[in-house]
């Protein structure tokens, strides 16, 4: 128990260090804020009248998908931040201090929730400006936002592991886009999964990004109640499917990341 409290305390200190870094490197915050605005405006006005969704305005259908895509992209800050700290030798300085070995990873992943929270806030305001509305209850909507943050937090542990395996910021950025773009686009983020052909539709239906997007849409009330529910289990029970993936990702990548951190720090 004392070891857990020690890890949490040290992780909190590292998280504060990463949050303070926002003030010293404001360019990062600008990118975090501008990127979601750009995505919302581009998709809303470029594709807004081109993709018909039965019973739902496309802009309302779109916003949950933009939320899911942006918070997943936000997880790349974890990998890039860890890789940068490795390159600059900051990790070696941390190792010289009497602190928990997992504190760097706990603090890094926790602080990046702030980035995603800011992104969601900006996207919400931008979405309201382009015509998106929350049709459900406020409590349900808060639950949708929370689920997006929880899923992004779990995914940040994947990127933490990648950042330790490939400790180069440039490689992390390129590799992240190669992986994240297919995962977020071959989903129901921007078009219904049933509109995709054959194998792509199957992949989209079982893609956890589709589940978290579907859960957010239902929480925001941005679905057509007269439209039949999805005929696949992940999209019929998106919250359970998303939480299942969150549990699997954390169970696999938290210990892998901590072990890889210990190995990488001794190189």
pLDDT tens sequence across 96-151: 666 666 777 888 888 888 888 888 888 888 888 888 889 989 999 999 999 999 99
Quickly state the pLDDT bin for 1 (edges 50, 70, 90).
Answer: very low
C-alpha pair distances (Å), 194 with each of 158, 184, 200, 222: 29, 16, 9, 17
Measured CA to CA, the distance from residue 10 to residue 99 in angstroms comes to: 6
Question: CA-CA distance, 237 to 13, in Å (whole number)?
Answer: 38
Structural tokens at position 103? 């504190």
Question: pLDDT exceeding 70 applies to what percent of the chain?
Answer: 80
- The C-alpha R_g of the chain, in whole angstroms, comes to 19
Neighbouring-strand partners of residue 84? none
Angle at 73 between CA 72 and CA 74, to 5 degrees: 85
Query: What is the chain's mean pLDDT, rounded?
Result: 82
Does residue 49 carry a pLDDT above 70? no
Q: CA 151, CA 143: separation in Å to the nearest integer?
A: 12
- Integer Cα distance of 1 and 195 in angstroms: 51
Kindly state the tokens that stand for 112. Answer: 């990046």
DSSP 56: B
Give residue 15's pLDDT.
Answer: 63
pLDDT band at 22 (very low <50, low <70, confident <90, very high): low
């Amino acid at each position: 128990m004392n070891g857990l409290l020690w890890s949490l305390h040290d992780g909190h200190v590292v998280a504060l260090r990463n949050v303070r870094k926002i003030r010293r490197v404001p360019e990062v915050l600008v990118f975090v804020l501008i990127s979601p605005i750009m995505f919302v405006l581009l998709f809303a006005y470029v594709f807004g009248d081109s993709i018909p969704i039965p019973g739902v305005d496309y802009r309302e259908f779109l916003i949950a998908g933009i939320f899911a895509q942006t918070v997943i992209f936000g997880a790349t800050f974890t990998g890039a931040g860890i890789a940068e700290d490795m390159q600059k030798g900051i990790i070696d300085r941390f190792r010289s201090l009497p602190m928990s070995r997992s504190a760097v990873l706990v603090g890094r992943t926790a602080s990046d929730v702030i980035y995603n929270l800011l992104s969601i806030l900006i996207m919400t305001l931008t979405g309201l400006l382009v015509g998106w509305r929350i049709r459900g209850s406020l409590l349900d909507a808060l639950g949708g936002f929370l689920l997006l943050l929880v899923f992004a937090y779990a995914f940040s542990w994947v990127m933490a592991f990648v950042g330790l395996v490939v400790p180069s910021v440039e490689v992390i950025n390129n590799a992240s886009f190669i992986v994240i773009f297919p995962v977020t686009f071959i989903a129901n983020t921007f078009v219904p999964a049933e509109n995709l052909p054959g194998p792509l539709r199957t992949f989209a239906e079982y893609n956890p990004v589709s589940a978290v997007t579907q859960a957010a849409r239902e929480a925001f009330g941005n679905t057509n109640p007269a439209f039949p529910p999805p005929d696949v289990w992940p999209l019929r029970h998106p919250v359970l499917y998303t939480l299942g993936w969150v549990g699997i990702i954390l169970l696999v990548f938290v210990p892998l990341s901590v072990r890889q951190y210990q190995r990488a720090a001794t190189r």
